[in-house]
Copies of this chain bind each other. A is one copy, B any other.
Amino acid sequence: MIIVMQQHADPKHIEAVVKRVEELGYKVHLSRGEARTIVGIIGADEHKLQTSSFEAMDGVEKTMRVMQPYKVASRDFSQEDTVINVNGVAIGGQKIVVMAGPCSVESREMILETAHAVKEAGGSVLRGGAFKPRSSPYSFQGMGEEGLRYLAEAREQTGLPIITEVMTPDEIELVADYADILQVGARNTQNYSLLKALGKLQKPVFLKRGMSSTIQELLMSAEYILAGGNMQVMVGERGIRTYETATRFTFDVNAIPVLKELTHLPVIADPAHGTGKWNLVTPIAKAAVAAGADSIMVEVHPNPAEAWSDGAQSLTLERFATMMRELRPVAEAVGRTL
C-alpha cells in the first residue's frame, strides 16, 4: 500500500503514519519528494490491511493499493487453470461447456422437453431456476422444491448435470441435495452470509458478477467461498449496469480476458442477461468464446412468448440448435472445441 501525504504535510503527521504502520507489524519505505512525501508499505500480507483508517489520519491525502486484496483467487496463488469436474463434464478445460435451460422451471413437461433439446443440440449442463429472485413481489417466485425434483428427473433422463440458483443460507442444504452446481445470482454477489455458507460446502459454485460489481469485487466474493475451504468456484460475466438503454445491461466482454489473467478459476459468460434480448444472444455468445470464455450459459424455452420470466432473452429450441452450430467454428478458431 502507498500512502500519499499532503503537500507540506507536518512532519509530526508523517511520523504518526509511520509509527502506526510499524505498530501493525509492517515495514515502511519512506520517499521524500520535492512536493510530497510517500509512505510505502510493501509486504505479502497487504490484503489484510485496510486503507480506510489511514485516510482518516491527519496529513494523509490518499492511499493506493499495490497488490490485489484477494489471495486464493489470484494467479499468484495458482498459475495453472482450475478445471472443475461435474459428473464427467470438465469446466475450465479445452472444451467450451454450454449450459442451457429455461430461466424458471415452469412444469415437468417443459423442463423435460427443454432438457432433451439441450442435450441433442450439444449442451453439457442443464440450467433451470426453482428459487427465483424477482424484482417484483407480484411476479412468479419459482416452483421451489417441486422444480428441483423435475430438474433431477431431467438429469436422470438425459445425463446432463444440473445447475440452479440458491438465494439464502437456509436453502443451501435443500438445493445441494438436488443440484450439481449451485448458482449465486447477480443480486447476491455480495451477500456475504450466503457466500460464507457456500464456503463450507463441497460442491461446485457458479458465482455471477453483480450488476455493479467491479472485477476485483467479484474476485473478493469468490475469495469468501475459497477462503472457507470450497475450491470449486467458477465466476461469470453477465452484463453490468451502464447508462446505455438500448440493451438491458452492457455485456463487459473486457472482463473475460481480464479475469483469465487475474484468476485461475473458470470463466463463464451469460449473454442472455448481458443483453436482455434473444436476438443478441448468439452474436454475444460468439464474442465471449472468441474472447476466451470457458463456458457459455444461455436461456432456452420451448415457447418464450409464454415464459413466466425472461421470455425476451430466451432462445427457442430451434434457435438454440442454430446457435450451437454457429458457435462451433468460432470455438475452433480460438483453439477450443464445443
Contact = CB atoms under 8 A, between A and B. Distances in A.
Interface of A: 2, 4, 7, 20, 29, 31-36, 38, 40, 42-44, 46-48, 50-58, 64, 66-67, 69-70, 76, 133-139, 141, 167-171, 187-188, 190-194, 196, 210-212, 214-217, 220-221, 223-224, 227-228, 240-247, 250-258, 261, 274-275, 277-280, 283-284, 286-292, 304-314, 326, 329-330, 332-334
B214 A312 contact: no
A51 B312 contact: yes
Contact of A53 (B57, B217, B255, B312): B312
A43 B34 contact: yes
B220 A136 contact: yes
Nearest to A256: B283
A199 B286 CA distance: 36
Number of identical monomers bound together in the oligomeric complex: 4
A187 B187 CA distance: 8
Nearest to A243: B241
A305 B20 contact: yes
B304 A56 contact: yes
Contacts of A228: 137
A319 to B, nearest CB: 11
A172 to B, nearest CB: 11
Q: Would you list the 7 A-B pairs with minimal beta carbon distance, nearest first?
A: A33-B42, A212-B212, A55-B312, A56-B304, A56-B311, A53-B311, A168-B193
A75 to B, nearest CB: 9
Nearest to A247: B254
B283 A257 contact: yes
A226 to B, nearest CB: 9
Given A168-B169, A244-B215, A44 B53 contact: no
A280 B257 contact: yes
A223 to B, nearest CB: 6
A290 B52 contact: no
B138 A227 contact: yes
A52 to B, nearest CB: 4
Contacts of A274: 254
B240 A250 contact: yes
A52 B50 CA distance: 28
Contact of A135 (B53, B54, B190): B190
B31 A35 contact: no
Contacts of A42: 31-36, 38
Nearest to A289: B290
A169 to B, nearest CB: 6
A307 B246 contact: no
A313 B51 CA distance: 12
Contact of A56 (B43, B53, B224, B305): B305
B137 A227 contact: yes
A192 B279 contact: no
A141 to B, nearest CB: 8
17 contacts: A29-B38, A33-B43, A36-B66, A64-B64, A135-B221, A137-B220, A167-B193, A171-B193, A191-B191, A215-B244, A240-B243, A246-B255, A254-B275, A254-B284, A256-B283, A286-B334, A287-B287
